[in-house]
A and B are shown apart, each in its own frame.
Chain A
């Protein structure tokens, strides 16, 4: 933004954005058509602003903080770093989709119970990341959990209660 402000050709010849042809995303199990979208829009923008799914958050838009974590064809990605058109015909699962699946209820209740939620801005992304981790590595040790969650920044909690929440989920799932 700042560099552009001093560039003499910035904005020269700028016209209206031309929308790309409509495309589909299999979003939380349902095919959704994206219309009127500009080619440069990130998956995060399309989810939040076009699909009405603001659960994935916008904290860095650079792939550093994990607040926008979603599942793309089963892999956790930062939605801010994926061009929405690249997700055409792919399966995208957001925190809203996980809510409906019931698969993360225990993660969410353990987060609340352990005090892992303060401002809550990082929480949906963390829920997605914990869901992914425990799906792959249900018995992950504490250092492995720390590493797996090190792509999800939290500024409020210092992570102590978050790690405690993950431990609680592991304990409950083992008992359950």
Chain B
């Protein structure tokens, strides 16, 4: 196959800030989100959830619910005909708790009724006889505590050893760090519509990140052939990892099959906090060694992630945490040990940055400590130690792709600093904002820098793939139309824009239609996670375009009676240079439509072997952030004034969309640094609402300036790396560093709360 680069001559699409095709309907409120669906005769589903983080269930009496007029179905564990459990990596989580409850909010039963409030009251009327147990809520303690699940309390324990882990440097710094539990807090709550079909199967329209993984888990629990379960993507209101696991999918399908009616489920915000996994809280201990001249010598670390009650994707998250524990720095010697443990806290799993976020708080605080100990500038100290291409990570993997770590750092710090604080500053722009509480004479400014990195796509030998099919046909008006069939979940990231850009560029077809994403007509596209869809779904579409191009050239060769090697395709027509003959795509398609399909796999990766060594990663993405904060030390209030960044993107295929990912990702990073935490009290969630769980508003986010570092990644479709996750990795640690600089306090826990600053002065 000819290198695709030959084909990219128009250049008017890839690399341009093409507008999203769904932007207009979304701005008008005409785009159908999963919660907007409606059907004649539709019922409303509702889940009953456990009020206890740990309890035995002695009995469930659903008869009071069934007695309520308007209630059409009530189901619990005994009504699950197939596998009673589900899970992304291993099915260890009950569809409904039957005898044991392991976290606050675990589903126990579900009802369907003809009005959402009838369903709510019916769920509340179900009598559950609980015997509360002492919850196991400390992850470190859980490792050696009696098992709270048949699979045990340790999801995964990994040790990475390289070089001489006993090596000692001239300078040694040590610290312990803690990261709280963050929520994805996507705006569109979990919702879906399940419709029983005439063939005895079920159709589910749902907001998700991975249609086929949902389908397979639903089918297992329904004891149904997967072909009888058709899952279609309904409009997704954000995801950020929180829709990778099953939430209401199985419940809604069971209720629909039981009642014989369409069932819509829409979580309220409170239920959404219980209905999906969260970012793992982390406790980390670090000891770093460096030479007097500022060269890193050794890193020792222990990392414990609280996985909560069920596995979800904890095994992959702890793998990332240990693999990236040292940060993007050269370290010849390392010993990093990590555990993901089971507790009676809410289950944790995927969230943007996935294990790399937590450890970045640790390694970056340590870099600043070392620089201070050595009397070096923290940026210069980092630059001295950064990973470069052909360097080895602590996993032994030699970085074969691009690694512009130095470039991202230099870009982040080269942006101008904001105007200095002065007495004329508007109160609204100071810490405390609309509260107007700041005393300007006491506000202190600080600047901090942090660097992070992460893998793109799935690692450790996982055979990751995306399937795509494109049909080229003529419209009734005789214009070429490309119809793309792919099950990629558009969750807001802009894949729909990119898919059209690729097809337009490679085939020269102006009319590109994306068929609705579903499981019925195409294989899996994998998950919209791990910054992987530009590479994976983009790569699948690229490959199919090249197959179609070959078919078009063959047809043209027949028409012009010449070998296809004499022909080139450009701007939607085939030409023969030697004779200046041309054939338009319209005439080539007059002979009938063309169709091609391909299952695209990325290059193989290896499992982590002995001592956590192996080429486990496909590609790495890097970013650096500089944060400027103002702190009111009396009240412990922080305002983030500015964040600047350099980000390694490979190639920006749509610069405005890349900027949107960077700004949005930074807002989530800042949120974890200073605002966002699911507060737990003995396993109980105390703040399941937007009143009590605060996410950044337009007044909380700072000015952002970004520089995109474009070094095409070898082997990546179009040279592009993913861009979604890096903004969320080191932006928060840069804010934490800036707070340390402003206050002189040893801030070791995020989110930084007012009492962490005000009460420690």
Q: Which residues of A contact B (CB under 8 A)?
A: 1-7, 10-12, 14-17, 38, 40-41, 45, 48-49, 52, 54-62, 64-65, 67, 94-96, 99, 107-109, 111-115, 117-124, 127, 143, 145-147, 149-163
Contacts and interface: CB of A to CB of B under 8 A. Distances in A.
A47 B760 CA distance: 50
A168 to B, nearest CB: 13
Contact of A108 (B27, B116, B268): B27
Contacts of A153: 187, 690, 695, 697
9 contacts: A1-B120, A57-B33, A62-B269, A64-B690, A96-B28, A113-B19, A153-B690, A158-B696, A160-B659
Contacts of A150: 434, 697-700
B387 interface: no
A6 B35 CA distance: 28
B237 interface: yes
Interface centre among A11, A52, A54, A111 (most CB of B within 10 A): A11
B690 A11 contact: no
Interface in B651-695: 656-657, 659-660, 663-668, 689-691, 695
A2 B51 contact: yes
B492 interface: yes
Contact of B35 (A11, A12, A58): A58
A5 B32 contact: no
A7 B20 CA distance: 49
A121 B690 contact: no
Contacts of B23: 111-112, 117, 120
A15 B19 contact: no
Interface residues of B, number: 88
A54 B51 contact: no
Contacts of B382: none
B125 interface: yes
B328 interface: no
A155 B660 contact: no
Contacts of A64: 689-691
Contacts of B70: 16-17
B221 interface: no
Contacts of B426: 143
Contacts of B120: 1
A158 B690 contact: no
B350 to A, nearest CB: 15
B118 A17 contact: yes
B28 A11 contact: no
A107 to B, nearest CB: 8
A71 to B, nearest CB: 14
B15 to A, nearest CB: 15
A1 B188 contact: no
B268 A49 contact: no
B125 A115 contact: no
B698 A56 contact: no
A158 B29 contact: no
Interface string B592-616: 0000000000000000000000000
Contacts of A48: 36
A5 B236 contact: no
A68 B660 CA distance: 23
Given A58-B266, A120-B31, A112 B19 contact: yes
B580 to A, nearest CB: 40
B26 A123 contact: yes
B125 A10 contact: yes
Contacts of A151: 697
Contact of A158 (B30, B38, B189, B667): B667
Interface string B55-70: 0000000001100111
Nearest to A127: B27
Given A57-B187, A120-B26, A155-B240, A11 B125 contact: yes
A1 B270 contact: yes
A150 B699 CA distance: 6
B237 to A, nearest CB: 3
B748 interface: no
Nearest to B125: A11
B33 A60 contact: no
A16 B122 CA distance: 11
A158 B660 CA distance: 8
A160 B17 CA distance: 16
A159 B274 CA distance: 27
A159 B689 contact: no
A112 B24 contact: yes
Given A147-B699, A155-B668, A56 B20 contact: no
A94 B29 CA distance: 10
A147 B238 contact: no
Interface in B189-207: 189
Given A123-B26, A143-B429, A115 B698 contact: no
Contacts of B20: 112, 115, 117
A108 B35 CA distance: 22
**6 A-B pairs with least C-beta separation:** A11-B125, A55-B29, A120-B26, A119-B492, A121-B237, A158-B667
